[in-house]
Amino acid sequence: MRVALLTCAIFVSLGLSDLCAREIVVGSSSEIVKAIANASPGDTIYILGGRYFFDRRIEIKNSGLADKRIALWSFPGDSIRPLFDFSQMEEKSSNQGIRLSANYWHIKGVDVYRAGDNGLLISGGSRNIIEFCSFVACSDSGLQLDGGASENLILNCDSYYNADSKKENADGFACKTDVGSGNTFRGCRAWQNLDDGWDGYLRDTDGVTTRYENCWAFRNGYLADGTRGYGDGNGFKTGGSDEKRLKHHAIYINCVAAGNAAEGFDHNSNRGNVTLLNCSMHGNKTNLGFGGENPVGILTIKNSIVLGPLGKLKADSVVASHNSWQSGFACEEGDFLSVDMSQLTRPRKADGSLPDIEYLHLAKESRLIDAGLDVGLPYSGAAPDLGAFEYQGENEF
């Protein structure tokens, strides 16, 4: 383990030890665990590329500060990423790969593989950033937030092939049970997770709000080999609860649900308010799954596209405007450059942002261009387009 102490030495000599921050480079499993345990506000831990084996959960309990986060990052410029391999773990509810119960961490560029439960559990931690990470083949949800976790940002992360041995459980991302409010998923993808892409099921809390921006949920409910598992298979499960009365308010902006074994968007007895703005649905068993039994409170859907059968659209109050099924003309495959959903798994860009795809992007002849309503999102042209992808002209790609 190499530690850059020059900055600290200068601050200490000036009597400003409270400003001391370190850059720590680690290259073994034991060094990673030690560096995390000893990290202080402002420290940056760089992990060299390679595969690191762990047979027990990594605990993160020490917090950073609002202006001095603790960073755990892949080493800049390495040709390979750090992979945390937990395959030596048995499948067990306490065998998360990483358990983060602290505040103000920034974890970036780390891949988590085959944890015995969640790949990463944020339990009670708040205002953390998890960026450009992946959670693969874990025995429960790839990344889960609970225990009052609030105001965390999950940015440009992937979660896929998560499944338990009974082939009935494991979501891509789970913001659920007794989670806090104000968590945001942005630019994330969840695919071929055995249960749901995202699960918002609540227990022991009520009235929380979660936000989803530019997220893609596809082919959930299927195993890595493509066979159907025993899980639910929804893209975005907005909420639900044992009592069938708890409210998980959910806001979806520019999100895509495609090819999921069950619903693209599912209310699952959620009694909260759900908003979909400029979302796209295609190829799900049911594209919209908002039923009349224990319905959501206010269901707002604007500027959204359903390619295929609409599904169920019920709530205590429905506010639906400028959607493809209300356009006065049929939404057809010819409205899009491509309907090949395999493009959704293309590699991310070097900065972690979503890949360029043609899937469900509007063709220049489509009447869905400029057919939307101004809902406060950026757009080009005379009016917003319908769906998750704003048409940028013939030179878009």
What's the pLDDT tens digit per position in 170-221?
A: 999 999 999 999 999 999 999 999 999 999 999 999 999 999 999 999 999 9
Give domain status of residue 392, yes or no.
Answer: no
Q: What was the pLDDT predicted at 2?
A: 62
d(C-alpha 273, C-alpha 292), whole Å: 14
Is it the case that residue 264 has pLDDT exceeding 80? yes
Give domain status of residue 204, yes or no.
Answer: yes
For position 174, which CATH number holds? Answer: 2.160.20.10
Give domain status of residue 173, yes or no.
Answer: yes
Is it the case that residue 340 has pLDDT exceeding 70? yes
d(C-alpha 309, C-alpha 307), whole Å: 7
Please enumerate in sequence order all residues whose Cβ is within 8 A of that of 143, keeping only pairs 6 or more positions apart, or say none: 118, 119, 120, 121, 122, 130, 133, 135, 154, 157, 159, 172, 173, 174
Q: What was the pLDDT predicted at 9?
A: 39
- Tell me the pLDDT tens digit for each residue of 56-67: 999 999 999 999
- Tell me the pLDDT tens digit for each residue of 289-339: 999 889 999 999 999 999 999 999 999 999 999 999 999 999 999 999 999
Domain range for 315 is: 162-357
Q: What was the pLDDT predicted at 3?
A: 55
**Rg of the Cα trace of the chain?**
22
* The pair of three-digit structure tokens given for residue 127, joined into one six-digit string: 């205002």
Q: What was the pLDDT predicted at 19?
A: 52
Its pTM stands at: 0.95
Is it the case that residue 129 has pLDDT exceeding 70? yes
* Average confidence score pLDDT of the chain: 94
Nearest partner of 182 among 153, 213, 151, 205, judged by Cα: 151
Provide the 8-state DSSP code for 66: T
Catalytic residue among 108, 167, 176, 237: 237
- Tell me the pLDDT tens digit for each residue of 135-152: 999 999 999 999 999 999
Give domain status of residue 249, yes or no.
Answer: yes
pLDDT band at 11; cut points 50, 70, 90 = very low
The amino acid at 64: G
CA atoms within 13 A on the CB side of 133: 27
Rounded to 5 degrees, what are φ and ψ at 62? -90, 130
d(C-alpha 197, C-alpha 189), whole Å: 8
Nearest partner of 299 among 278, 320, 282, 281, judged by Cα: 320
- To the nearest whole percent, how much of the chain has pLDDT over 90? 91
Nearest partner of 285 among 301, 268, 309, judged by Cα: 309
- To the nearest whole percent, how much of the chain has pLDDT over 70? 94
Is it the case that residue 6 has pLDDT exceeding 50? no
- Would you report the helix, strand and coil content of the chain in percent, each value rounded to 5? 10, 35, 60
Give domain status of residue 146, yes or no.
Answer: no
* The pair of three-digit structure tokens given for residue 88, joined into one six-digit string: 């030596």
Please enumerate in sequence order all residues whose Cβ is within 8 A of that of 67, keeping only pairs 6 or more positions apart, or say none: none
- For the question of residue 176 being annotated catalytic, the response is no
DSSP H or E run through 48: none
Please answer whether residues 325 and 302 qualify as being in contact, where contact means their C-beta atoms are separated by less than 8 angstroms.
Answer: no
To 10 degrees, the CA torsion angle through 163, 168, 171, 176? -140
User: Based on the structure, what is the number of domains in the chain?
Assistant: 1
Give domain status of residue 182, yes or no.
Answer: yes
Nearest partner of 122 among 70, 59, 216, judged by Cα: 59
Give domain status of residue 112, yes or no.
Answer: no
Please answer whether residues 43 and 54 qualify as being in contact, where contact means their C-beta atoms are separated by less than 8 angstroms.
Answer: no
* The pair of three-digit structure tokens given for residue 42, joined into one six-digit string: 């402002």
Give domain status of residue 300, yes or no.
Answer: yes
Give Cα 104 distance to the centre of its chain.
19
